[in-house]
């Protein structure tokens, strides 16, 4: 792998999966027109268009709910919550719905949903934009939680997450 920034590796991994599989799409605040939080979806909107790279309102519950529903119908959403701080708004959807669908239906339902969340501080983004809440999710049965630390890690883990038939939470440090 060539030397690259973390955000470039994120975009490259998503691009690879979108080119390979037409059921993969991106959704989140500013993932499209402005190239995503921290530039992590740079170029995807231009390459794949608004049908597969969907900007949303500031509505985290809608992002998670729509992603879970799409995953249940055979799509492979790569959703982004700009800051992990706002996953609290979506905890019922994440831990009581998305994480449990497969078990509630005896293994008969796949939920191939990847949820990307930025985490940590250091960017002077205030109290509601600088927490590290990944530990809250590692204890939820049915969820896979990863926290890559290098561009190579995020590239490989995103490829694996997007191809997984279970919900995967990918935490990316803001710095």
Active site residues: 129
The DSSP code sequence of the chain is -----HHHHHHHHHHHHHHH-TTEEEEETTSSTT--GGGTTTTHHHHH-TTTEEE--S-HHHHHHHHHHHHHTT-EEEEEES-GGGGGGGHIIIIIIITTHHHHTTT------EEEEEE---S---GGG----HHHHTTSTT-EEE---SHHHHHHHHHHHHH-SS-EEEEEE--
């Amino acid at each position: 792998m060539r030397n690259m920034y973390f955000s470039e590796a994120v975009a490259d991994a998503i691009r690879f999966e979108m080119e390979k599989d037409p059921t993969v799409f991106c959704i989140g605040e500013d993932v499209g027109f402005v190239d995503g939080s921290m530039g992590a979806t740079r170029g995807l909107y231009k390459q794949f268009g608004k049908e597969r790279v969907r900007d949303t309102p500031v509505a985290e519950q809608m992002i998670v709910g729509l992603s879970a529903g799409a995953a249940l119908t055979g799509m492979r959403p790569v959703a982004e919550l700009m800051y992990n701080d706002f996953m609290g708004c979506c905890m019922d959807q994440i831990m009581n719905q998305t994480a449990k669908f497969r078990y509630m239906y005896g293994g008969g339902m796949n939920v191939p949903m990847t949820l990307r969340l930025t985490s940590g501080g250091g960017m002077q983004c205030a109290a509601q934009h600088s927490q590290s809440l990944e530990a809250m999710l590692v204890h939820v049965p049915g969820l896979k939680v990863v926290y890559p630390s290098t561009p190579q890690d995020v590239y490989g883990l995103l490829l694996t997450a997007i191809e997984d038939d279970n919900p995967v939470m990918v935490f990316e440090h803001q710095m």
